[in-house]
Amino acid sequence: MRHEEFWFADGSVVLVARNTGFRVFRSLLAAQSTVFSDMLSSSSPNAEEMFEGCPVVHLSDSPQDVAYFLGVLLPKSQRTLYMRNLRFSFRRVAAIIRLAHKYHVQDVLDQAILALGEYFTSDFDTWESDRIAVVLKSRHAVAVVNLARLVDRPSLLPIALYECALLGSSVFKGYRRDENYVDRLDQSDILAAKAVALISDVFVTEPCTRCERRGRCKGALKTMLEDAIGSDDASDPDVLNGWGNTIKDWAKELRLCGPCEKAALARDTAARRRVWDELPDIFDVKVEEWNSSVGSEDLG
Residue 254 maps to a domain: yes
- Same domain? For 66 and 54 the reply is no
- Same domain? For 3 and 83 the reply is no
What is the pLDDT at residue 296? 46
- Same domain? For 69 and 41 the reply is no
- Same domain? For 203 and 268 the reply is yes
- Same domain? For 42 and 92 the reply is no
Three state DSSP letters for 243-279: CHHHHHHHHHHHCCCHHHHHHHHHHHHHHHHHHHHHH
Residue 296 maps to a domain: no
pLDDT in tens, 151-201: 999 888 888 888 887 887 788 888 898 888 899 888 788 888 888 888 889
The maximal CA–CA distance of the chain, rounded, in angstroms, is 86
Q: Work out the angle between the directed axes of helices 63-73 and 90-102 (0-180°, nearest 10).
A: 80
CA distance 195 to 280: 17
> What's the predicted TM-score (pTM) here?
0.70
- Same domain? For 261 and 201 the reply is yes
Residue 289 maps to a domain: no
Residue 130 maps to a domain: yes
Residue 116 maps to a domain: yes
Residue span of the structural domain in which 200 resides: 194-282
What is the pLDDT at residue 297? 52
End position of a domain, from candidates 125, 154, 185: 185
Residue 267 maps to a domain: yes
Angle at CA of residue 161, ends 156 and 165, nearest 5°: 155
What is the pLDDT at residue 77? 60
Cβ proximity of 115 and 81 under 8 Å: yes
- Same domain? For 88 and 151 the reply is yes
| Helix H or strand E segment including 16 | strand 13-17
Cβ proximity of 282 and 188 under 8 Å: no
- Same domain? For 85 and 156 the reply is yes
End position of a domain, from candidates 11, 45, 60: 60
Which residues make Cβ contacts (< 8 Å) with residue 127, sequence separation at least 6? 119, 121, 159
- Same domain? For 165 and 113 the reply is yes
Residue 298 maps to a domain: no
End position of a domain, from candidates 18, 36, 60: 60
- Tally of domains within the chain: 3
- Same domain? For 198 and 256 the reply is yes
- Same domain? For 80 and 179 the reply is yes
- DSSP secondary structure of 23-72: EE-HHHHHHH-HHHHHHHHS----GGGEETTEEEEEESS-HHHHHHHHHH
- Same domain? For 210 and 149 the reply is no
* Rg over CA atoms, the chain: 25
Residue 19 maps to a domain: yes
Q: How many CB atoms lie within 10 A of CB 185?
A: 25
Low-confidence residues of the chain: pLDDT under 50: 47, 296
